[in-house]
Chains A and B, each alone.
Chain A
Amino acid sequence: AQSVTQPDIHITVSEGASLELRCNYSYGATPYLFWYVQSPGQGLQLLLKYFSGDTLVQGIKGFEAEFKRSQSSFNLRKPSVHWSDAAEYFCAVVYVGGGNKLTFGTGTQLKVEL
């Protein structure tokens, strides 16, 4: 069964510092990969997605992610974190032919220290 692992449950960074959130997915058919962000009491906002092509994808709010097939990873990065980035971040995968069944990781809660 497809699965997504986000090994870091909580991460704390200082404002202005760089950020990397890790995501690994189970090997399978061609994956479509996503990062979503959720603020308290809110729905999920799409940050970026990877379907095919260039393995480095740019998203909103200055985020980027790199797809590495050999490592089954899709890590999210941001060069300089802002206090407003504090939220929970979810990595998700759906496989080609799998319809809309997104499988989510358990999420990483990001805290930003001023």
Chain B
Amino acid sequence: KAGVTQTPRYLIKTRGQQVTLSCSPISGHRSVSWYQQTPGQGLQFLFEYFSETQRNKGNFPGRFSGRQFSNSRSEMNVSTLELGDSALYLCASSSVPSDTQYFGPGTRLTVL
């Protein structure tokens, strides 16, 4: 089975721009979660989607949003980028919520 795939792998943006990151879960997995990893804050939960519905949201500003499509693929969007949004964004999928999460390779976002 193919693993979780994330595109793009690397992204460079400037402050004020917006960005969309994509995640394709493992085939058959219906739950997708997003995490942000930075050297200062570590790994932090962004949000979780299951059956196209956001089930849980972390403590991030409204500039961070996401959605899930009927094929379980997910996207996250960050608007009005700030320097502090530079991070590795990780997507994880599981068959259902509370099951084991498997992570993708991440998207490295750099905001200049």
Contact = CB atoms under 8 A, between A and B. Distances in A.
Task: Answer whether A and B are interacting partners.
Answer: yes
B100 A102 contact: no
Contacts of A34: 100-101
Q: How large is the interface on B (under 10, 10 to 19, 20 to 34, 35 or more residues)?
A: 20 to 34
Interface in A74-97: 90, 92, 94, 96-97
Interface residues of A, number: 24
Given A42-B105, A46-B100, A100 B43 contact: no
A94 B106 contact: no
Interface in A20-45: 32, 34, 36, 41-45
Contacts of A92: 43
A44 B98 contact: no
Interface stretch (B14-22, B61-69, B76-84, B89-97): B89-97
Find the residue from B43, B45, B48, B108 having the highest chain A CB count within 10 A: B43
A62 interface: no
B35 to A, nearest CB: 7
10 contacts: A36-B103, A42-B105, A43-B103, A44-B90, A100-B56, A100-B97, A101-B33, A102-B43, A104-B43, A107-B43
